[in-house]
Amino acid sequence: MGPTRRVCIVGFGYGGIGCVRECLKEGLKPCCFEIQDGMCGLWRYKENNIEGCGSVMNCTRVLASKEFSTCSDILLSDNLPIYLHHSQVYKETVQHVEKMGLNKYVKFQHRVESVRKADDYQETGRWKVTVKDLQSEKVTEDIFDAVMICTGHHAYPNEPKFPDQEKFQGRVIHSLGYKTNAGYEGKRVVVVGGGNSAIDSAVDVSHVAKTISISNILGVICKFANFTRNKRPTEDTEIDFGFRR
């Protein structure tokens, strides 16, 4: 048998955590790099976003039950609610990752800057990875047999622009920047989009806002159940679904 093959894993959110675990099961040597100073990727709630990292909103709960959301080898306690709040997802994950010893294979506060073919790629198929230590600012290069990219896909907002938008006096937000409903008290709010982020933020803001309009292209509301599952909007909150606008 040849030497143990080294695998570079970029990111230690759920994707990265799973890859480290599977590499170890396969007898590979994982070496994971993570920008943040902790695990869980976007489930690590942040008051202030970090460039290149997604984040849940403070109101976020998982959209599937704990039985369906967990991994096959993790049994979640009966004492936990069926739909976990993000802080419970984070806490449970940290506990299990530490118990499995997966965090030993991660260098936190290290950003992968580039992944290129190694000079001997044609013969070996290896990759040259450049990494920056965000504390010391030191940049190093290393060679790996394989690279797994687990950087997520919710780190950069897609913010549509509408004609005359600059005339609008209110705030235009994106769910990536939406943390809590503080500051929306008594306001008229428009939520653009009908995905889970849109509905979660509409429900959250409905507790304090005067009116909410949901503007949606296709007229599909994914998560209407949230209106009943979470706290109901206050009685005097108007909710207007504006389809096909």
Ligand X SMILES: Cc1cc2nc3c(=O)[nH]c(=O)nc-3n(C[C@H](O)[C@H](O)[C@H](O)COP(=O)(O)OP(=O)(O)OC[C@H]3O[C@@H](n4cnc5c(N)ncnc54)[C@H](O)[C@@H]3O)c2cc1C
Ligand Y SMILES: NC(=O)c1ccc[n+]([C@@H]2O[C@H](COP(=O)([O-])OP(=O)(O)OC[C@H]3O[C@@H](n4cnc5c(N)ncnc54)[C@H](OP(=O)(O)O)[C@@H]3O)[C@@H](O)[C@H]2O)c1
Residues that bind ligand X (CB under 6 A): 10-16, 33-36, 41-43, 52-54, 56, 60, 62-64, 69, 111-112, 150-152, 154, 197
State the minimum distance, in angstroms, from the CB of residue 153 to ligand Y.
8
* Calpha distance 106→98 (Å, rounded): 11
State the minimum distance, in angstroms, from the CB of residue 244 to ligand X.
26
Residues paired with 30 in a beta bridge: 7
Fill in the DSSP letter of residue 48: S
61 binds ligand Y (CB under 6 A): yes
Candidates 103, 109, 151, 196: give the one binding ligand Y (CB under 6 A): 196
Tell me the residue type at 177: G
Run of H or E including 57: none
Run of H or E including 131: strand 127-133
Binding segment for ligand Y (CB under 6 A), chosen from 31-39, 183-191, 213-221, 231-239, is 213-221
Candidates 200, 203, 212, 230: give the one binding ligand Y (CB under 6 A): 200
Three-class secondary structure of residue 134 per DSSP: coil
Candidates 24, 28, 31, 63: give the one binding ligand Y (CB under 6 A): 63
Nearer to ligand Y, 122 or 228 (CB): 228
* Calpha distance 122→63 (Å, rounded): 45
160 binds ligand Y (CB under 6 A): yes
Let me know: does 202 contact 212? Beta carbons within 8 Å.
yes
* Calpha distance 177→175 (Å, rounded): 5
Candidates 65, 195, 234, 243: give the one binding ligand Y (CB under 6 A): 195
Tell me the residue type at 112: V
Nearer to ligand X, 73 or 236 (CB): 73
192 binds ligand Y (CB under 6 A): yes
97 binds ligand Y (CB under 6 A): no
